[in-house]
Amino acid sequence: MATSRKKLFIKTYGCQMNVYDSGRMADVLAPLGYEPAEEAEGADMVILNTCHIREKASEKVYSELGRLRLQQQEKAAAGERMIIAVAGCVAQAEGAEIMARAPHVDMVFGPQTYHQLPEMVTRAVRGAGGVINTDFPVESKFDLLPGEGATPQGPSAFVSVQEGCDKFCTFCVVPYTRGAEYSRSATQILEETRRMVANGTVEITLLGQNVNAYHGEGPDGGTWGLGRLIRALAEIDGLARIRYTTSHPRDMDDDLIRAHGEVPQLMPFVHLPVQSGSDRILAAMNRKHTADDYRRIVDKLRAARPGLALSSDFIVGFPGETAEDFAATLRLITDVGFASAYSFKYSARPGTPAAAMAEGRLTEDDKSERLEAVQTLLAEQQRAFNAGLLGTVQEVLFDRRGKHAGQLLGRSPHMQAVHAAAPDRLLGQVVPVRITAASASSLGGEVVTTETALAETVLAETFLGNKTAPSGVAPDIKANHQEMTA
């Protein structure tokens, strides 16, 4: 039966997990005739895939819904329908409230239910009132999502391996919106990755709210940790790079740390949120580790993989944070040295234990002042890290065209954005680039083409001891590399 073509616009807020989920929603809706559109205007269905992590993130959704109402009315005046849906963590947390505040919304569904979209769309189209689905179904959405025929994800793609969280940090809504910790089977992840690589993906980022808590069933029937999974993924021919995010310090086990020294495809970059440098605040946050535990983990990672770059998340102004606590955070940042980091003002989230902590609440002004101090220090470190790469050659995976004609954009092994003049045929390739410019936020460079230049590269350091470079590496470079290491 022919299905009529319809336009689908998905606006994604928040974390990479939402980016991955938006891609899967598009896959689920494709058999119903929905094709991705670039903008909401004129779309037959608009999905806002939302984030609830901070107050600002959820408020954005309501202003966007106001704008969409006007577009929905314009379409209705032309005798056409625009279905508006709110998905993700705001939908999970505020389900019925969204319908009450914005009755023009047709569907509200949580992150664990989007495999049920075809049924929800049917109900919404019949128009018997808005559809609200915030269940945590017994079946896993991962078992029911389309496999074959999923949309190609491009050179760099996300693979969700783990969802939910049982850690209950006192500031965080994730355990309530994403539910209990769940790991996909290694077989399913390996299959999904093989399919992506066959479709042109050369880099994957394994995703999870607590990705290193991964404990999925392996093909051998045993329970695999993240290190084991990464080693199996590294066997996939054509997969040049593996990354993972977001990790928790408590789950950084020795096998995963060793993998950083042993698996060349595993990139030398780890995003490891610490939140605070004060043991008192870490305890109040229920993080269950100290600042020195964090320092020790960093030392182990750097011993396993010299040159490994670190990133982190920081919250300033948690209830009760004193000037001394804050000074301890600045000390930790100075001791560790970060290549990049995210920092946020504490935002009270309804229903979390910290939201009920009345003692020692900070004013917005105090939080802003601390945030500025943290961001200034982190920006200095990021600038210094980037400047330290001037004159070196870095392998860059070009995954997009740049703003200027003849320019490609990509990522260094340490996750820095890199731009260089390069022909389109290098899109999707890992290419050596000599770094000639560095700012706080990105690097610029020139593609290296000669063998002499290659001989002085970080490429040699990255793959030293391996007879073959991973197969996503550009063929001429791979040939050179094999000569160097033979």
Residues that bind ligand SF4 (CB under 6 A): 165, 167-169, 172, 174-175, 209-210, 248
53 binds ligand SAM (CB under 6 A): yes
**CB of 311: closest distance to ligand SAM in angstroms?**
11
**CB of 15: closest distance to ligand SAM in angstroms?**
5
* Binding-residue pattern over the window 214 to 253 for ligand SAM, x denoting contact by CB under 6 A: --------------------------------x-x-----
**CB of 260: closest distance to ligand SF4 in angstroms?**
21
- Decide if 409 contacts 418 (C-beta within 8 A): yes
Pairwise CA distance, residues 266 & 226, whole Å = 12
Contact with ligand SAM (CB under 6 A): which of 114, 346, 398, 463? 346
User: How open is the CA angle 345-347-350, to the nearest 5 degrees?
Assistant: 170
Q: How far is CA 222 from the centre of its chain?
A: 27
Residue 175 contacts which entry, ligand SAM, ligand SF4, none (Cβ below 5-8 A, type-dependent): ligand SF4
Q: Near ligand SAM by CB under 6 A, which window of 100-108, 166-174, 179-187, 389-397?
A: 166-174
349 binds ligand SAM (CB under 6 A): yes
**CB of 269: closest distance to ligand SAM in angstroms?**
16
Residue 20 contacts which entry, ligand SAM, ligand SF4, none (Cβ below 5-8 A, type-dependent): none
Pick 352 or 480: Cβ nearer ligand SF4: 352
Q: CB-based contacts of 190: which residues, under 8 Å, 6+ apart?
A: 219, 232, 233, 236
Residue 415 contacts which entry, ligand SF4, ligand SAM, none (Cβ below 5-8 A, type-dependent): none
Pick 354 or 397: Cβ nearer ligand SAM: 354
Q: Is 307 left (phi over 0), alpha (psi -120 to 50) or beta?
A: left
439, HSE (Cβ side, Cα atoms, 13 Å): 6
Q: Near ligand SAM by CB under 6 A, which window of 4-12, 135-143, 169-177, 290-298?
A: 169-177
**CB of 251: closest distance to ligand SF4 in angstroms?**
9
Pairwise CA distance, residues 41 & 68, whole Å = 9
Total residues interacting with ligand SAM, rule: CB under 6 A: 18
**CB of 276: closest distance to ligand SAM in angstroms?**
10
Contact with ligand SAM (CB under 6 A): which of 92, 133, 160, 275? 275
Pick 174 or 454: Cβ nearer ligand SF4: 174
* Binding-residue pattern over the window 297 to 326 for ligand SAM, x denoting contact by CB under 6 A: ----------------x-x-----------
Residue 346 contacts which entry, ligand SF4, ligand SAM, none (Cβ below 5-8 A, type-dependent): ligand SAM
Residue 393 contacts which entry, ligand SF4, ligand SAM, none (Cβ below 5-8 A, type-dependent): none
Pairwise CA distance, residues 400 & 411, whole Å = 10
Residue 441 contacts which entry, ligand SF4, ligand SAM, none (Cβ below 5-8 A, type-dependent): none
| First and final C-alpha spacing in the chain | 57
52 binds ligand SAM (CB under 6 A): no
**CB of 261: closest distance to ligand SAM in angstroms?**
24
- Decide if 206 contacts 161 (C-beta within 8 A): yes
Residue 168 contacts which entry, ligand SAM, ligand SF4, none (Cβ below 5-8 A, type-dependent): ligand SF4
Contact with ligand SAM (CB under 6 A): which of 95, 155, 227, 273? 273
- Which residues are paired to 36 by β-bridges? 8
172 binds ligand SAM (CB under 6 A): yes
Pairwise CA distance, residues 382 & 439, whole Å = 9
Residue 6 contacts which entry, ligand SAM, ligand SF4, none (Cβ below 5-8 A, type-dependent): none
Pick 153 or 245: Cβ nearer ligand SF4: 245
Pick 140 or 286: Cβ nearer ligand SF4: 286
Residue 15 contacts which entry, ligand SAM, ligand SF4, none (Cβ below 5-8 A, type-dependent): ligand SAM
Q: Near ligand SAM by CB under 6 A, which window of 5-13, 184-192, 293-301, 340-348?
A: 340-348
* Residues near ligand SAM (CB under 6 A): 15, 53-54, 171-172, 174, 209-210, 246, 248, 273, 275, 313, 315, 344, 346-347, 349
